[in-house]
């Protein structure tokens, strides 16, 4: 038996960091949405009691360090499953990019082995389990558009943004999420108006969404990697309606309403940036799972 799952990337339309907690994590408020750049996960039933990860990407580990492996192991232990699984990952999402590629792979494995092993856990239970793997996994289990609170695992679903183009550009650098959080000075950083972003989504107000994109972590990463600001400037000059770094970076996204401008933005970055993608917002949960 084979189960196929799509694992889409996310972007953070807004990301606020409220305070550092006693457990070392930070309390956040993030408005997140999925885009149609996705890894493809193929799960094959194994009779032997083992988990095997296969990927042609040289950027992801193929052992227990892989978040997809950890998702299968968690499900196996939680539901005392005796069968195994072969996990093939077709990696299309840039790695360590602020796009939650690893978290989305893990979420796809949670959904997929639930079907493969006939476990019948509901989606909320999968999202709760996902939080044990990483802060972004619960959101990725659902996909769509949501407000994520706590350390990222408390999910409230939101209306999808109006359809638009998203240009993603990742410079040739990797960013450690842990380092970015460690270097953050919460008092001095920029803080988004999360409620205004939610209102703009509820009113399907594209201009309002563009006005309120903001990311508290952006200043930390741009200080470490000035390329991020250069990409933002290029996107703005080429006519983007809004530009922001996603998550802890270094990927920058542009929101663009007009078809004619999308290729202008793409062309302004191609050659400057090794990875540039033109994608659409997915927005709705039904289209991601």
Ligand X SMILES: Nc1ncnc2c1ncn2[C@@H]1O[C@H](COP(=O)(O)OP(=O)(O)O)[C@@H](O)[C@H]1O
* Binding segment (CB under 6 A) for ligand SUD, from list 23-31, 47-55, 198-206, 230-238: 23-31
Report, in Å, the least distance between residue 268 CB and ligand SUD.
Answer: 24
Binder of ligand SUD out of 84, 94, 112, 134 (CB under 6 A):
134
Q: How far apart are the first and last CA of the chain?
A: 19
248 binding ligand SUD? (CB under 6 A): yes
> The tokens 């590629």 sit on which residue?
101
Q: Select from 217, 215, 197 the least CA-distant residue to 207.
A: 197
Binder of ligand SUD out of 70, 76, 151, 232 (CB under 6 A):
151
Region of 237 (left: φ > 0; alpha: ψ -120 to 50; beta: rest) is alpha
Peptide bond into 282 cis (omega under 30): no
Report, in Å, the least distance between residue 56 CB and ligand SUD.
Answer: 22
> The tokens 């006005």 sit on which residue?
211
Residue 143 binding partner per list ligand X, ligand SUD, none, with a CB distance cut-off of 5 to 8 Å that depends on partner kind: none
- From residue 44, alpha-carbon distances to 55, 57, 96 in Å are 14, 19, 26
Residue 116 binding partner per list ligand SUD, ligand X, none, with a CB distance cut-off of 5 to 8 Å that depends on partner kind: none
- Cα 45 from Cα 24, distance rounded (Å): 38
- Provide the Cα torsion 125, 131, 134, 137; round to 10°: 40
The CB density around residue 279, as the number of other CB atoms within 10 Å, is: 18
Q: Which of 136, 232, 234, 241 is catalytic?
A: 136
Binder of ligand SUD out of 86, 88, 174, 181 (CB under 6 A):
181
Backbone angles phi, psi at 5, to 5 degrees: -135, 140
Report, in Å, the least distance between residue 98 CB and ligand SUD.
Answer: 4
Q: How many residues of this chain interact with ligand SUD, rule: CB under 6 A?
A: 20
213 annotated as a binding-site residue: no
* Binding segment (CB under 6 A) for ligand SUD, from list 37-45, 79-87, 173-181, 225-233: 173-181
Nearby residues of 70 by Cβ (< 8 Å), 6 or more positions away: 64, 106, 133
Which residues make up the interface to ligand X (CB under 6 A)? Answer: 60-61, 65-68, 89, 95-103, 105, 177, 247-248
Binder of ligand SUD out of 94, 98, 144, 283 (CB under 6 A):
98
Residue 288 binding partner per list ligand SUD, ligand X, none, with a CB distance cut-off of 5 to 8 Å that depends on partner kind: none
Cβ proximity to ligand X, 89 vs 155, nearer residue? 89
Cβ proximity to ligand X, 99 vs 244, nearer residue? 99
Backbone angles phi, psi at 285, to 5 degrees: -65, -40
Query: Which residue positions form the known binding site for ATP?
Result: 94-104
């Amino acid at each position: 038996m084979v189960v196929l799952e799509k694992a889409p990337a996310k972007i953070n339309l807004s990301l606020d960091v409220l305070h550092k907690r006693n457990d070392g994590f930070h309390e956040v408020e993030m408005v997140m949405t999925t885009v149609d750049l996705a890894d493809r996960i193929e799960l094959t039933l194994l009779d032997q009691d083992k988990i095997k990860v296969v990927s042609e990407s040289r950027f992801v580990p193929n052992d227990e360090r892989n978040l997809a492996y950890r998702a299968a192991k968690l499900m196996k232990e939680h539901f005392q499953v005796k069968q195994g699984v072969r996990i093939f990952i077709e990696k299309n999402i840039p790695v360590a990019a602020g796009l939650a590629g690893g978290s989305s792979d893990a979420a796809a494995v949670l959904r997929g082995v639930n079907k493969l092993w006939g476990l019948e856990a509901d989606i909320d239970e999968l999202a709760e389990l996902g939080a044990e793997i990483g802060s972004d996994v619960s959101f990725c289990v659902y996909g769509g558009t949501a407000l994520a609170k706590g350390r990222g695992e408390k999910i409230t679903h939101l209306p999808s943004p109006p359809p638009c183009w998203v240009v993603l550009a990742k410079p040739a650098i990797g960013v450690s999420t842990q380092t970015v959080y460690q270097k953050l000075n919460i008092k001095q950083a920029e803080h988004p108006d999360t409620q205004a972003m939610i209102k703009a989504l509820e009113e399907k107000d594209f201009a309002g969404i563009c006005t309120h994109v903001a990311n508290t972590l952006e200043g930390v990463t741009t200080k470490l990697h000035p390329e991020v600001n250069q990409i933002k400037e290029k996107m703005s000059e080429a006519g983007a309606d809004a530009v922001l770094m996603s998550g802890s970076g270094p990927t920058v996204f542009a929101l663009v309403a007009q078809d004619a401008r999308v290729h202008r933005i793409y062309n302004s970055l191609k050659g400057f940036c090794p990875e540039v993608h033109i994608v659409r917002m997915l927005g709705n949960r039904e289209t991601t799972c």
